[in-house]
Amino acid sequence: MNLQEHIRRIIREEVDEKTPIKIKLQNLVDTIGIDKAKRAVGGLENLIDILYDGDLKSFHKQNKIDPYLIVDEYYWQDNTMPNMYISEFIVNELNIDTNDLGSLGTFKWGPKKDPYVAFCDLNTVREKFNNGFNYYRVKGRGYGKQFGYGNTSQTIGKTYRKQIFKQIIDKYNLDSYK
């Protein structure tokens, strides 16, 4: 049986009429993967609505999809810098505008006695990672420095980036999706 026939059989409920559609759809996800299963039901939103009653947290937890990634990426002269990426699903769920400068908010960074402020937003281009899902890169700028815009000499360092990332995780309660 080819893939199309398998999908048709499950969707038409020819396997067992007593088996709920949720179980059949979960079997489809387990057999052919989320990417193909979402196409079979008309998109990821429909898949999440059917399998998880629209609960994005359950979707992330049960499929072990990271709500955010902090990735060390090549920066300059064999150095790496951490960059943060937020799942496209969460960006959509939280209605974060990817075209709005400062859409994530303002966050403090630097020395505790006299911290600076960074205005953070999301890159408008999504990036696909090895897990097959799209993520938006977090970028920020403030006090003449920046991060997430590519290589630049005026960058916010590793420690201060991590300060900002922690505040973003806390503000949007991103760990609750794990």
pLDDT at 15: 47
Confidence of residue 3 (pLDDT cuts 50, 70, 90): low
Confidence of residue 78 (pLDDT cuts 50, 70, 90): low
Q: Which has the higher per-residue pLDDT, 168 or 99?
A: 168
Q: 168 — phi, psi (to 5°)?
A: -65, -45
Q: Which long-range contacts (CB under 8 A, 24 or more apart) does 46-52 make?
A: 48/89, 50/21, 50/22, 50/25, 51/22, 51/25, 51/26
pLDDT at 7: 66
Give 25's contacts (C-beta < 8 A, 6+ positions apart). 10, 37, 41, 47, 50, 51
Q: Which has the higher per-residue pLDDT, 84 or 18?
A: 84
> How much is the pTM?
0.78
pLDDT at 173: 95
pLDDT tens, position by position, 125-157: 778 886 678 899 998 888 888 887 765 667 788
The answer on pLDDT for 2 being more than 80 is no
